[in-house]
Chain A
Amino acid sequence: MSVAPPHSSLLGKQSGNVARRKAQNVVMLSLCMLAAGLAILVLGLVLFFLLSKGFSSLHLSLFTRPPDNIDIKKGGMIQSIFGTLVLLGIASCLGLPLGILGGIYQLEAKGKFASTVRFFTDVLNGIPSIVIGIFAYAAIVYPVAQAHPGTGFSAYAGGFALGILMVPTVMRTTEEILRLVPFALREASLGLGATRWRTMWSVVLPAARGGVITGIMLALARIAGETAPLLFTILGSEYFSTHAVLGGHAHVPTLNAPIDALPLRIYNYSQDVNPDRQAQAWAGAVVLISLILVLSIAARFATRGNMQEEK
């Protein structure tokens, strides 16, 4: 880009001034480059150590065995992986219907009330997850423990906390995605005599399917790594708690008892002085990030498929 000031009155007078401005340009742009370089360097270091330490301590028994307190190296964290999946399932049962239906309402409704709902959705989204954890403790764990001493910490309480974290995220993304569906599509459907709910169900939602799925996946990816709300709700566990069904012929996992989750296990092991436990924490981190990446990549594919459909 050539810098030749056309009007000396507007942009300085002398060539010395131009030289100064050019020098300033170079200096400031270099500073920006430096900032970017520093950011990428630090972020790269995070990723590098994560992968190098994580993969070097990754082994198969992690996925096949619960923790082993005698031979620590042989232990795994299968119960944590299972617990995380269970919690995601319970959270989805609460968060998805509320989030998607609420998002639909925010799309359809207009006026002051709708914008108030939108505002408080953002407020709920900004509440720290540990506060939600305390809330779940006060609302579920504590009353249950008062009624039946010795119980209280359960998969339900953890799933409740995570579900509440999901609601505002899913609500906002659903609304934003549905808003992208051309209005003409809705008008065409309504013009054919379809009711509003039929229009939503058969026209708008299918058209936005990919985007809605993306929003769900990203919300799941976000809550899969949450630790703070689980500290006071699921407590953590080193084994599967099961109970007998079908007259003792089969055992199924108990959800009404303390269970484990990957991020909680990583936290506990990171506080352990045993180097083997610390190594398992790194390996657990790689497993957790892989889970989150799978969810995020699935989200990408959901959108991509949708876009091709539209073309």
Chain B
Amino acid sequence: MTAVQDRTGTPAPAPRRRPNPVLALLRNSWRQLTSMRTALLLLFLLAVAAIPGSVLPQRGVNPEDVRDYYAAYPDLAPVLDRIGAFDAFGSVWFSAIYLLLFTSLVGCILPRLRDHVRALRMTPPAAPKRLDRLPQHAFLAAPAGGAEAIAATLRKRRWRVAVRGDEVSAEKGYLKETGNLIFHLSLVAVLIAFALGSWYGWSGNRLLVAGEDKAFCNTRQQYAETDIGPRVADADLPGFCLTLEEFEARFLADGQPEFFNARVGVEEPGRELRSADFSVNSPLRLDGANVYLLGHGYAPEIRYTDRNGRAQTSIVPFLTTGDMGLTSEGLAAFPDVNVDPATGERNPELQMAFEGIYLPTAPQEPPYVRSEYPTERNPAVFLIGYRGNLGLDAGIPGSIYRLDQRQVTTGKLTQLGEAKLLRPGEKWTLDDGTSVEFLGTRRYITLSVRHDPGSTMMLVSCGFLLVGLLGSLFGRRRRVFFRVGAAPASGSPTGSSSLVEAGGLPRTDHPGFADEFAALVAAIGDGGRAGTPTGVDGDTGAGTGRADQDRARTREGTE
């Protein structure tokens, strides 16, 4: 509080004879920007600007929601998108506010840092002439040893002390300003850590199906989605490989998940192959990347035996639809079947695909559309077969999870009869004598692999931030003065030479200061031989009047 007043109280630099208008404007704007009012306004703006980011769907949080929003509001969405509303926290307006705020912050704390360092070097100031004008005031018996003894007692209580002849000045509570500066500097550090993370960090998501044959090695191409910082080259990605060995999940009777654990084989460059467990809340920490478990599901193994008797197996993850029972949808596509044995050429009319729903616990009776429980109590896959041109050669990248519906509507793909329910081991023979068999399932997990080089710095600065905040909020700057051999201002004739006059000045709001002062005076005054010190009358009251008085005095005292 004082610090603020000190700053506003600093006399403006003497005006130059011919002020350069541009410089003057710049200087004024800078002063305006670093003022507390501006900081307040910017803080408020920041809070308001954060609201759209929670109301509107955000790409960084959930891209599908943005797509849905586009579908729901086709006119509004593009406009919103133009102003960055779907990436609110990376948008120009949001960045502008916090960059201004942080500029203001730096402009605010640098001068304060300088002042504070100066104050730390300085000894406490000389006592004012009239101690009885300070908010706290008392007389006490002079302790044996005079000023030096007083100074010793004060030092023991960790006051910073200066002795000038018969006068002792002491100050305490530098921690408040120190804490405040640490706090604000930590804020800057947090921002820098955030920036580091987004420039030099990277992340990617993918599915990993169990089994050696489905191992994944860390390259950019292996990810379904990536978010790679602008300063990251492909070669920077650490070259580890993962194999899902086992996945365990337990659920309550109502299907609520209770426990997950994934065991993976980890191969890092220059290290032995090892097994590692990880789970929700305890990620796999590798050298240069962390692997997080986000989800899980089933990948049905579907074997198709073609006209030539050749079998192929598809093991593609079926994506969960979000219900409790892990009902999943997916596609088993067989583009390279029914190849002419003589020419070895694909026959685009005879490609096969099976769209399906997988039910870990199928109901006892139809309709077979919803699984009743997330583990495989009664597994079944419900398949619809298609024959024809899958459209993969057209060069249009198709999803491996969904059939290209255009091929169906244009008649290039035809559905083969009714949908068919298959349990593990069951076989469905199609009209042309080929067959499809449901062999079983494998587990898959959804992974997020990330590297954030700013995270350590972030954590450390948050620690400092908190410590600084505590110092700033609960630290209290105050001064006390003692004058040995003073006569009471009232001119009491008795024993004036053996008295000490004391005064105390809280420099910040400090309701408990009177008590502290009384205790200090008592400690110094040899158990208060001089009777109850005047002025310390237990009036700890802190109504408006007193607070204002304190503040007024404070101002007086600092000048």
Q: A and B, one complex?
A: no
Binding site for A on B (CB under 8 A): none
Binding site for B on A (CB under 8 A): none
